[in-house]
Structures are given as C-alpha cells and as structure tokens.
Structure 1
Amino acid sequence: MRIRTSTTPGPSGPHRSRTVTALALLAAGVLLAGCSKAGQAGSSSSDNGGSSASAPVKVGLVYSRSGPLAAYGKQYLDGFDAGLAYATHNTGKVAGHPVQVTEQDDAGDPAKAVAEAKSLIGKGTRILAGTTDSGVALQLAPLAAQNKVLYISGPAATDALTGVNAYTFRSGRQSYQDILTAGSLLGDSKGKKVTVLAQNSAFGQANVAAVKQVLGAQGATVDSVLAPPSASDLTPFAQQVKSKKPDLVFVAWAGASAPALWTALDQQGVVTSTKVVTGLAGVASYPLFGKAGAKVSFLAHYFPGAAGTPVEKAMLDGITAKGGTPDLFSPDGFTAAQMIVHAIEAGSATDPTAMAKALEGWSFQGPKGDEQVRAADHALLQPMFTAKLTGGGAAAKPQLIGRLPMTSVTPPQKAMAG
C-alpha cells in the first residue's frame, strides 16, 4: 500500500494528512450484493454533485490517537484503512474522486475535538468520522448539523446519538444493543435486583439508562454504582456493589482502569457471590480477568472470528496484511469506510445532505453480518454476539455462545431531532 503522509502543525496540534493513491493489500473483488445503489465504487467518471472527477473528497478522522481510549482509536483506524481498501476495490477512489483522509487526535477531550472539527470544516472537509469517546460524540453531533457536514461516529456507544440530527450516523453499536444482548444471557429478570457498575461518564450513564429501560421493563429493580473515570482505587466501589446483594451485576467499563476493576471485584468476592455480566473488551483484556474470567458471562459487540462472514475475512486479512491486530472496534472503522464510500457514490462527493439521504435505509453486508442504517433515526442495526472465556493468562480466548441477528437486538425507534 502506498500512502503519501505528511505531518503539519495545525491550529489544534499535529495531524497527519493522507491521500490514498493505491491500496493493494486486499484481494480485488466486487462488493457484496446490497453494498451499492449506484454500481461499484470507483466505476464512474463523475459524481452526482457535478464536481470535477479528479477533485478529492476530504474526510476528517477525529479520534483518540492518545488518551485513555487510544487503544480503541488504533483498532478503529486499522479497520478504517482495511475498509477503505475493500470498499474502493483497492483504488482509494470513489466515482473518480480520491479519498483524502486527515487524522486529528482529540485525546478524548471534547473541547479539543470541537476545535479540530471546526478547523477541518473550515478547510473544506465535508465528512467527519472516527469518534471513540461518547462525550466527544455528543459535542460533535450538533456541530455537524450546524455546518451541514456528514458525521459518522465510531465506537462511541451512547444512545443519545441515535436520532440526534439528520447529519449524524454511527458505524458501531449503541448501549441499548449491549443491554439487549446481556438480557439474552440473564434469562428471566422479573423480581431480580440488578446493579450497574460503571464510570460516571456519558458511556456509563447511557448504560445505566439502558439497563433501567430494558431490564426494568421486564420487572427488575435497577440501581447503580458509579465511579469517577479518574479513580484508580476501585475497591470501595466493588464493596458498594457487594453490599447491595444484587442478583445480577452488569459491568459497563472502558479504558485503562479495567484491570484494576476486575482485580477489585475478584478480591471482594463479587464474581463468586452473584451473576456478573459484562461486555467483552479487546484482545489485550482477555488475560486480565484471571480466574474470574471463567465465572463471567460476556455480551460481545465483536471479537475476531465471531461473525464468520466473507466481509469479516476481508477485514481480518486487510488488517493483518499491514501488520495490525484485529480487535474489538475493528468493525467500527471498517463499516465507517463502507458507509463513506456508499454516501459518496450513491449520494454526492460534495453535498453532505445528499450523502446522508443515500445512507438512510441502506442495507449492506458488514464485517459482522447483515446490517442496516435505519432511515427514521440513523440507528445502525447489526448482529451481536455472546461468549465465554476459556483458558487463562496468555491462553485466554473467547468462545462463541451465540449470534443474535440484528432483528433480535433492535433499539427502540426515536424521532429525529431538528
């Protein structure tokens, strides 16, 4: 793969600008049925917006290259590169237009992300993507609507993004889909006491709200224990959870403090005194559960090999061919690239409103399986998975329990905000 790179200090700090000229790491091939309403990517000499066929389409990736979610940002970026190669048939072009990608590191700081996004928009960027952090996403969404740019959020899972405005989409799952997947593991929750252990952040609060909405509606009593995202000593919070004597503990956690959390839950006997359900995090986290891992039930947004689809194989091959490691949020980046290519090809290379319309209702084969952008509120309907961990230490790995089709984990439809 040949990519011209440059590092230039901008108003919001260093960034990298990349013009994809040739992507030859993936096997060439046509997109699967349903991936395009206007033919194959790169097959047309002009776009619907009537602009020059050689004019680049500027895409800004605002994501966590550093900060507490940097590992997730790297997974997203690796997936995006593989997805762009796949969706453009290794050309780096859509309808004759080179895709020019500029990366900006928000470090998980909403103010920094907004400044970077404004700078990109001022330089003619009409597509933003990549958001790793939910708090950042909630700041970028209104900015996208105000400036009429297409915004495709990444791993940010907050439910509040769904239906927030006509220009905001997502390439990953949302918290409600996590909870519906967890519900499939919990069985009958009627009369049960459920405690949500999470960080006091947009992500954590969204999970608490989703558990109350889903399991509360099924007859469970739901409360929560929220820890500051900066907390390093998590023993007091594990003790609070145990003192509540819940029937079920739902753990929603993200970032570098996860090992300390599971150590605390193990030491305080939480994982042996009640049923604990959590999301399966990245590959690096598997050994961190230790002996507790075999006692925890996992809902899974994704883990390598979970889907078993041809598109997943293309993603895995594309990432590993470049020396990367497929992981939890690889599909978010890959799917974002698919969405961007479709928005340009079936919508416009210059008009974000037409891009957004092209995405609404789009059904396609993503790396996780059958997916659909719901037209009414831009929720991304997608399969989810359940798993357990086998082995221990460095040998720990997930074993698939079940695949839930997108129809089984569909979040409630929301009215589109203005």
Structure 2
Amino acid sequence: MVKRTIAIAAVALALGITAAHAQEVKVGVALPYTGIGAEFAQLVDRGMELYLKLNADKVKPYKITLLRRDVKDPSGANAKIAVQELLTQDNVDVLAGWIYSPNAIASAPIVSAGKKLAVIMNAGTAHITNLSPYYVRTSFSMWHAGYALGEASAKILNAKTAVVGYTDFPPGKDSLAAFKRSFEANGGKVIDEIPMGGAGAVPDFTPFFQRAKDKKPDLFFVFVPAGDHAAAVVKTYAALGMREAGIKLIGPGDITQDTKLQAMGS
C-alpha cells in the first residue's frame, strides 16, 4: 500500500511538479488521528514511516515529506476541511489516506478541483473511484469480501437462509448488496436485512442480534467497521447464545481484527 503511494509520488513528479519542488515530494495525509478511527490511522502512519525509513535510497534524489491532517471522524465534514488545507495551505503534491468511505466521498469534489493524485488507502465503497479522476485505490472494494462470502456461505457452509446485519453507511450497504446477490445466486435466501446504527459510535447491538436470532437463520452475515464495533459484535453474539442456537456468524475480516481479539473474549 505505502509502496504504491511512493510510486505514485514519483509519477506525480514526472507529470509536472515544478523545479522549485523537484527535491521534495509533499504527501498530504488525511487520517482520523483522534476519535474512533485513531488506531487505524496510527497503523497506516507507522507503515508509511517504516517504508520511508527502510527505502530512503530508492527515492533519491527526492525527499518524501508526510504532512498530516486529522479528519477526526467518519462524518465527512472534517475530511473536507483537512483535504482543503492540505491543498491550499500545505501545497502538497499528492494526497493519501481515507480510512472511512464517507470521508472519501465528501472529499471527492475538492480532490478534483485540486487536480492532485489522491491515494485511497482503505475506504471500500465501490463507487468512490468514479467520483474523481484523481482517485486511485490501493486497498479493496466491499464487493470483494461480500460477494465471496455469499458464495462460500451457500457452497461451503451449506446455509440455506441468512440474515444480514450492517452498519448503516455506504460500505455497509455495499456489503449487504454484494453478499445478497452472491448468496441468492447460489441458492440461498436472505430473510432479513438489519441496519445497525452508524459508524460514528458503537451502538448496543443486542436488539439487532435478537431480531436476527428470532428469525432462526442458518447464518448471520455482519459488516461493521473494524475496532470497537467488531469487539461488540462478537460479545453480543456470544451473550445471546446464537452459536448454541445453531446460527453461524460470518463477515469480512473487520470482525476479527487481531488487535481486538482479546477484547472479544472466548
């Protein structure tokens, strides 16, 4: 991911960075350094710093400088401000970041107006890359996991019925659509679709999971943002005895984030 960011920085040089900036490539990084996504920002930051440390010789004679702005939350409003400041105040050559899809969606008009390459490092809503000709995504689309898990649920887990629970924002809706299309194309049936709050704060999942349990599906497919949302999902699944009721829990890797496994209990 970071390797591609550096490569894109080099491309930006070739495409017309002025001689005044020829020895320095300024990468504007828009990440949630505070708030619910701070852990992910720290992980991305460490990856960038480590790569630059280990590969400084590969970008000579250029110096890569990271200029950071805190987008704080998934609302989109702070991301727009951060990206605008990176472009107009810091005069960056390349943009990078975007953990949350709403932030990438909100930033798109500003990215287009700024005419700078912008590297999406995480945000997975499928249509984001259509919103600006300057966007390039090095991560994934929610359809990758959702569609594959729909097929696996039917063919490998032999599930005939499923309930889908999802965080009610663009990546969650993509996950629902992808899983449902694949699962039903392979003979399954989604018998309920449950929006489970937003990405900005962890909700009480109990009523949503109880509703799913009452439907008695073979399988419960869940998409929530990684982090505290994921830990709460697994705890609620266990607390309501859904495994004992014969309901399998499945979802993308967000619900098994390694740094949260201990918080999920047994």
Query: TM-score normalised to the size of structure 2?
Result: 0.82
Q: Secondary structure at the match of 1:237?
A: helix
Q: Distance in 2 between matches of 1:172 and 1:271?
A: 32
Runs of 4+ aligned structure 1 residues displaced above 6 Å come to none
Greater share of residues in strand = 1
C-alpha change, 1:83 and 1:183, in structure 2 (3 Å) is farther
CA contact (8 A) 2:146 2:176 kept: no
Q: How much does 1:154 deviate?
A: 1.6
Q: How much does 1:60 deviate?
A: 0.6
Q: Distance in 2 between matches of 1:158 and 1:75?
A: 21
Partner of 1:57: 25
Say yes or no: does 1:126 pair with 2:93. Answer: yes
Partner of 1:247: 218
- Cα RMSD for the two superposed structures: 2.8
Say yes or no: does 1:237 pair with 2:208. Answer: yes
C-alpha change, 1:180 and 1:209, in structure 2 (3 Å) is closer
Say yes or no: does 1:214 pair with 2:186. Answer: no
- The CA deviation string for residues 155-206 of structure 1, in whole angstroms up to 9 with x for no partner, is 2121122433321111212211112442464242898222111211222222
Q: Secondary structure at the match of 1:149?
A: coil
Decide which of 69, 72, 76 is 1:110's aligned counterpart.
Answer: 76
Partner of 2:252: 279
Larger mean Cα displacement after TM superposition, 277-286 or 106-115: 277-286
Say yes or no: does 1:157 pair with 2:124. Answer: yes
- The CA deviation string for residues 363-396 of structure 1, in whole angstroms up to 9 with x for no partner, is xxxxxxxxxxxxxxxxxxxxxxxxxxxxxxxxxx
Structure 2: which 5+ runs fail to align?
none
Partner of 1:387: none
Partner of 1:266: 238
Alignment of 1:41-80 (within 5 A): 47=14, 49=16, 51-52=18-19, 54-80=22-48
Partner of 2:62: 97
C-alpha change, 1:279 and 1:285, in structure 2 (3 Å) is farther
- The CA deviation string for residues 70-104 of structure 1, in whole angstroms up to 9 with x for no partner, is 11111111112223345xx324x735222121011
Q: Distance in 2 between matches of 1:95 and 1:181?
A: 41
Partner of 2:145: 178
Amino acid at match of 2:224: W
CA contact (8 A) 1:54 1:98 kept: no
Partner of 1:290: 265
- The CA deviation string for residues 226-277 of structure 1, in whole angstroms up to 9 with x for no partner, is 1113353221111011112222211111242332322221121223322211
Q: Distance in 2 between matches of 1:131 and 1:185?
A: 29
Q: Distance in 2 between matches of 1:249 and 1:200?
A: 16
Say yes or no: does 1:146 pair with 2:86. Answer: no
Q: How much does 1:68 deviate?
A: 0.9
Q: Distance in 2 between matches of 1:215 and 1:190?
A: 11
Query: TM-score normalised to the size of structure 1?
Result: 0.54
C-alpha change, 1:110 and 1:269, in structure 2 (3 Å) is same
C-alpha change, 1:145 and 1:119, in structure 2 (3 Å) is same
C-alpha change, 1:251 and 1:176, in structure 2 (3 Å) is same
Decide which of 233, 238, 256 is 2:228's aligned counterpart.
Answer: 256
Q: Distance in 1 between matches of 2:18 and 2:104?
A: 30
Q: Secondary structure at the match of 1:57?
A: strand
Q: Distance in 2 between matches of 1:197 and 1:168?
A: 29
Amino acid at match of 2:249: V
Q: Distance in 1 between matches of 2:248 and 2:59?
A: 49
C-alpha change, 1:217 and 1:165, in structure 2 (3 Å) is farther
Partner of 1:195: 163
Aligned residues with identical type, % of pairs: 24
Q: Distance in 1 between matches of 2:264 and 2:159?
A: 29
Q: How much does 1:54 deviate?
A: 4.1
Q: Distance in 2 between matches of 1:185 and 1:206?
A: 18
Say yes or no: does 1:224 pair with 2:193. Answer: yes
CA contact (8 A) 1:47 1:95 kept: no
Q: Secondary structure at the match of 1:270?
A: coil
Structure 1: which 5+ runs fail to align?
1-30, 292-418
Amino acid at match of 2:35: G
Task: Considering Cα pairs closer than 8 Å and 6+ residues apart, tell me whether 1 or 2 has the greater RCO.
Answer: 1
Alignment of 1:324-363 (within 5 A): none
C-alpha change, 1:162 and 1:247, in structure 2 (3 Å) is farther
Q: Secondary structure at the match of 1:216?
A: helix
Q: Distance in 2 between matches of 1:168 and 1:220?
A: 36
Partner of 2:134: 167
